[in-house]
Chains A and B, each alone.
Chain A
Amino acid sequence: MPLTENEFRPKIVAFCCNWCSYAGADLAGSSRLSYPADVKIIKVPCSCRVNPMFILRAFEKGADGVILCGCHPGDCHYSTGNYYARRRMTLLFSMLDYLGIEKGRTRVEWVSAAEGVKFSQTMNEFVEKIKSLGENVRLGDLRCKN
Chain B
Amino acid sequence: MSHRNYSEKIKEISGVNPYKCMKCGKCSATCPSYNEMDIKPHQFVSYVLNEDIEALADSKSLWKCLSCFACVERCPRDVKPGKLIDAARQIVVRERGGDYLSADEIPELLDEELPQQLLVSAFRRYKR
Establish whether A and B are touching in the complex (CB under 8 Å): no
